[in-house]
Amino acid sequence: MLAIEQLTMIYETKRGRVKAVNKVDLSLGTGEILGLVGESGCGKSATLLTILGLVPYPGKVTGGRIIFQGEDLLQKTPAELRKIRGKEIAMIFQDPMTTLNPVFKVGEQIRESLQIHGLMNEQAEGGWFKGRKRKESEVDRVYQLMREVGIPSPEKRYFEYPFQFSGGMQQRAIIAIALACSAQLLLADEPTTALDVTIQAQILELLAKINRERETAMVLVTHNLAMAAEFCQRIAVMYAGEIVEQGPTDEVLEKPKHPYTQGLLRSIPRIGKVKQKLEPIPGTVPDLASLEDGTCPFYPRCAQAQPACLEDECTLEDVGGGHWVKCALYN
């Protein structure tokens, strides 16, 4: 369904060129859930925005391809992208409190997708839309969506404003907007960040239900490895704008190859094990404006660093079983 090849997106700044997304390779099959994990600022959200053509100024794509259903999205005009965005590829943004417009009723914000893409017109020839006014059909469809995502009393909640919804209900409304047009690909940018643990579990269960019933492919951005382990079939680990490791979830988490992935796993508390100190990754995330081309961005923090890390640019190598790693130890 989706194939990203050598995708590069940069920001031109006063301090120099910042590669927010650097030669990223990813693929996603129909009905598959891919977890995109890594520290804050490593390029996860920037990758999703690039897929949708929503790169903020002064960012620009300088290379690569984004193949969706056999067509390169980077070759589409803005008008063509608007027809795809929301209808075939939808996104759940990170913070529902800033995503929803505070001055519009929640139901009307869900109905907007149906209006923009004209789905009621397309289906007006038959079925339960036949003989009904377009707005009535759209409102009934919104009621149905609100019930599907677990918003109670949709006939009442349709006319309420975002401030009258809890954080969890706001996130459900965002998911209803993403589902309005039955998108084939759902991009979820840390959809549970602002929610407490019990609501997080409900939102994840809702996304899993959507995946099962609609075979909707998903990319889940998170820095929570436990969540990715529970929810995703495959995991891709990002660092400094690059994919450093990817593969089946069990393979990546049980047999991590890249020193960065190993460091992430060592820094997680383990329930049931003998009490011991956590091992944080030393140092800090590098300044992307100061990175040199052809060198490993993790080199200053890596306990297994070698001279080769600074000499040749590594590529993703298959170490078996669909497990890929970008490291001089395996090149």
**30-57 tens-digit pLDDT:** 999 999 999 888 899 999 999 999 988 8
More confident residue, 294 or 220: 220
Q: In this structure, what token pair is assigned to residue 211?
A: 């995946």
> Residue 273's pLDDT is what?
66
- Residues of the chain with pLDDT > 70, as a percent, come to 94
The per-residue pLDDT for range 108-140, each reduced to its tens digit, is 999 998 888 876 554 444 444 444 566 778 899
Most confidently modeled range among 5-14, 109-118, 198-207: 5-14
> Residue 126's pLDDT is what?
45
> Residue 27's pLDDT is what?
93
The per-residue pLDDT for range 146-184, each reduced to its tens digit, is 998 889 999 999 999 999 999 889 989 998 998 888 889
Mean pLDDT, residues 10-39: 91
Whether residue 298 is predicted with pLDDT greater than 80 in this model: the reply is yes
pTM of the model: 0.88
pLDDT band of 89, cuts 50, 70, 90: very high
